[in-house]
Structure 1
Amino acid sequence: MATLPDLKGSSFTLTVLHLASNDVAEAKSFLTEKVEKAPAFFANAPIVLNIEKVDGDIDFAALKQAVNDAGMIPVGITGSKNKRTQTLATDAGFAVMTASKTPTQAPAEMKAPKVVRTPVRSGQQVYAKDSDLIVLSHVSAGAEVIADGSIHIYGSLRGRAIAGASGQSESKILCHDLQAELVSISGHYWLSDQINSEYWKKKVMLSMADEQLQFEILAQ
């Protein structure tokens, strides 16, 4: 018997761009810069546009093209309670989305941590599904380590570390030498140029508090 298609609810971590104005060129420039700094993380990434703080009309067709030109995939808008604005957005091909207020919970059963004993080289990606990730060596520039849980790196972090990949905001990133290209927990990320110099090349722990990434220097 043939298997029929089915519709089921699910959850995904999406990048959300919070627009401050209806200046499409400004948004495109910002996105292009981010993609150039971390192409492996942002290229072809789905993005939602939060327009809650935007005053005035938005050229949604131009905005959609700007997102495409920057190398990302426009999915929808959020933050609008104006029916006219929502109609203009849908006419341009955007979905109208409502942010959930329910926090994402960790999986009911987390697996044993995934342990990597060798360096993670440039171009490599390591993913620990439904578990923590422990790297006993270095993560090189251009490498990417991902975990649905927390990430522990007992060496230098020069590449990208993405914890809480399925939305677990309680996840953490710990490393002995922070020189990261990008760090992310539950979809919230900082690039290297956003990391305060006081944490650079230090033993640190990253966590989430009040929807913000928090850095803590650990004792050597």
Structure 2
Amino acid sequence: MSKSPIDFKGSNFTLSVVHLHQSQPEIIRQAIQEKINQAPKFLQNAPIVLNISTLSGDINWLQIQQAVSATGLRIIGVSGCKDETLKKIIASAGLPVLCEGKVVFKTTDSTKSNLVNDHNQETNKARIINTLVRSGQQIYARNTDLIVINNVSAGAELVADGNVHIYGIMRGRVLAGASGDFKCQIFCTNLAAELVSIAGEYWTMDQIPGKFFSTAARLYLQDGVLAIQTLN
């Protein structure tokens, strides 16, 4: 029996979502370029999703697409679009219109408690890594926390939908709250990261306050902005 020439398989990728709050193409281009200049290794030629949920009124999609592409970012999809006409324009430009958010299931009272218990049992199980995380490796903890009890090499990447705990030297990239949970945090016993991110807000290595470098630290979001304090 011959094997099928293709297979469809699920997978997970780390993508940045760029939320547009302005429809003027040149303003968008300049703002994106400033971000890229701050973290060129992380953002140069990166695949991204554009979220346009806060935009309203007349939108020149072609000009916006050209402005973003001029920075080198690769648009692979658009989310947050509510206007049917605009959806057709985006689709005609060769881009998929994506849906974000959680699926809500309606349940009866008799099954609700069982579903809640099952959900808690599933999401409370953190993913634990005991071995060295080497350069080029990416570890993703879906819908849960990630705990690494070893060192993380430069060029490695830790990604979790929940919190991230590193009991070792953190030299790579660490992204907590990857699905957008701004309450997530990063805990590290020796912070020397190339990049830290929580729910899309990030610092590159040179943005981490110097006094916290190579120390035990806790990172979190405060009013939507990254904050850091000594981990006692």
Pairwise same-fold verdict (TM > 0.5):
yes
Q: Counting helix residues as a fraction of each chain, which structure ranks higher?
A: 2
- The higher relative CO (CA closer than 8 Å, separation ≥ 6) is in 1
Would you say the 8 A contact 1:114–1:128 is kept in 2?
A: no
Q: Is 1:152 aligned with 2:166? A: yes
Q: CA–CA distance in 2 between the matches of 1:136 and 1:179? A: 11
Alignment match, 1:203: 216
Q: In the alignment, is the contact (CA less than 8 A) between 2:192 and 2:205 conserved in 1?
A: no
- Post-superposition shift, 1:208? 7.1
Q: Distance in 2 between matches of 1:20 and 1:166?
A: 21
Quick check: 1:133 aligned with 2:155? no
Which residue of 180, 198, 202 maps to 1:190? 202
CA contact (8 A) 2:17 2:200 kept: no
One-letter amino acid of the counterpart of residue 51, structure 2: N
Larger of the two Rg values belongs to structure: 2
CA shift, 1:99, in A, is 0.5
Q: Cα offset for 1:96?
A: 1.0
Q: Which residue of 1 aligns with 2:74?
A: 73
Percent identity (aligned):
25
CA distance in 1, matches of 2:130, 2:178: 16
Q: Please give the root-mean-square deviation of Cα atoms over the aligned residues, in Å.
A: 4.1
Aligned equivalents of 1:218 and 1:43: distance in 2? 32
Q: Deviations over 1:173-193 (max 9, x none)?
A: 3234656552124x5231249
Residues 218 and 132 of structure 1: CA distance in aligned 2, closer, same or farther (over 3 Å): closer
Cα distance change of structure 1 residues 135 and 112 upon mapping to structure 2, 3 Å threshold: closer
- Give 1:83 shift: 0.8
SS of residue paired to 1:144: coil
Give the conservation status (yes or no) of the 8 Å contact 1:135–1:152. yes
Number of the residue aligned with 2:19: 18
1:164: Cα distance to partner? Answer: 4.8
Summarize the alignment of residues 21-32 of structure 1 with structure 2, pairs less than 5 Å apart. Answer: 21-32=22-33
Structure 1 range deviating more: 127-136 or 84-93: 127-136
> How far did residue 153 of structure 1 move?
5.6
Instruction: Work out the CA distance in 2 between the residues paired with 1:211 and 1:5.
Output: 43
C-alpha deviation, 1:212, in angstroms: 7.5
Alignment of 1:48-197 (within 5 A): 48-102=49-103, 112-116=128-132, 124-128=135-139, 132-136=147-151, 143-148=154-159, 150-152=164-166, 154-155=168-169, 160-164=172-176, 172-176=185-189, 178=191, 180-185=193-198, 188-192=200-204
How big is the shift at 1:56? 2.3
Question: Take 1:209 and 1:101, find their aligned partners in 2: how far apart are those partners?
Answer: 24
Bigger CA drift: 126-135 or 86-95? 126-135
Q: Aligned partner of 1:184: which letter?
A: S
Q: Following the alignment from structure 1 to structure 2, what is the Cα–Cα distance between the partners of residues 179 and 112? A: 21
Kept in 2, the 8 Å contact 1:17–1:49? The answer is yes
Q: Is the 8 A contact 1:115 1:134 kept in 2?
A: yes
Provide structure 1 residue ranges, at least 5 long, that are not aligned to the other structure. Answer: none
**Displacement of 1:91:** 2.1
Give deviations 1:118-143, integer Å, cap 9, x for gaps. Answer: xx8xxx54544666434558x6xxx3
Scaled by the length of structure 2, the TM-score of the pair is 0.65
Contact 1:181/1:192 (8 A) holds in 2:
yes
How many angstroms apart in 2 are the aligned matches of 1:193 and 1:88? 39
Distance 1:128-1:12 versus aligned 2 partners, 3 A rule: closer
